[in-house]
Every structure is written in C-alpha cells, then in structure tokens.
Amino acid sequence: MAEHSRNGASVAMLLSLFLSFTAQSAVSPALDNQISVLCDKMQSCALESLGGEGVDSSNKAFVEKMIGAACRQIRGEFDVMSLSNKVDAAATSCLKSMTALSCQAFESDVETSECSALAKLTQNSS
C-alpha cells in the first residue's frame, strides 16, 4: 500500500491549492464531473498496482473504502470553497490533466502544467 500514499500526496496537493477559499459554494457541474473522474482514476491506479483483475476481494474492498474516503474529502473541500469562474475552470483543467496521466506518472506526483497554473492562480488570489 506504500504506492498509494503517493496518491494521498497528490490529493493533499490539490486540497492545499484551495485553502484560501472558505465561503460556502457548490462546485460547477464540470468540476464536479472531473472530481468523479479523478476518483475513478485513483481507484483504477490503486487496483492496478495491486495486481489488476487478480486483486482479492478484501484488498479491493480496502482500496475502495480508502479511495471513497479520500474522494469524499476532496468533494467536501471543493463544496465549501468559493471559486471564481477563472479558478473553477483552472481547477477543472488541472484535474482533467491529472486523470490523463499514466498510473505511473500519477502515482509519482508529476505536476502538470495545468496544475502549476492553478497553483499560481490561487497564490495570486490569496
């Protein structure tokens, strides 16, 4: 499960990008969709690194529980943020770029140019 702690680092990086936004607001449908796609990617990569289709049911259930908890946390963090349209679009692009990565790149915390742009935008907004 050590490989999956790197996914946690990616999730933590995403969450930290938005800490300066605290007013209550719902996310856009596009961002909400990308959160779901990211969660699917996290689960897929975690299961792949455990052996893909050959993962036993207890390990699969554990991965699903852990990824589910991480995704609820991500969704909850986004739900309480007040994102401008510009930041919302940048966040959507960042998540989309992350889900396009290979599992190997995703698990090694590669930062995409879209996520770098989002980090810069949120730093300028705080």
> How do the pLDDT tens digits run along the chain, 126 residues long?
444 444 555 555 555 554 444 333 467 889 989 999 999 999 999 988 888 778 888 888 998 999 999 998 988 877 766 677 788 888 899 999 999 999 999 888 889 999 999 888 888 765
| Nearest-10 crossing angle of helices 113-125, 85-99 | 150
Q: For residue 20, what pLDDT is reported? A: 40
What is the count of structural domains for the chain? 1
**Whole-angstrom Cα distance, residue 18 to residue 35?**
14
**Whole-angstrom Cα distance, residue 55 to residue 126?**
44
Q: For residue 80, what pLDDT is reported? A: 64
Q: For residue 14, what pLDDT is reported? A: 58
Q: Which residues contact 46 (CB under 8 A, 6 or more apart)?
A: 3, 4, 7, 63, 66, 67
Q: Nearest-CA neighbor of 121 among 96, 78, 94, 90? A: 90
Vertex 74, ends 92 and 78: CA angle to 5°?
Answer: 60
Q: Which residues contact 21 (CB under 8 A, 6 or more apart)?
A: 81, 82, 83, 87, 122, 125
- Evaluate if pTM is beyond 0.75: no
Q: For residue 1, what pLDDT is reported? A: 44
Inter-residue contact 96 to 35 (CB < 8 Å): no
Range of the domain at 59: 2-125
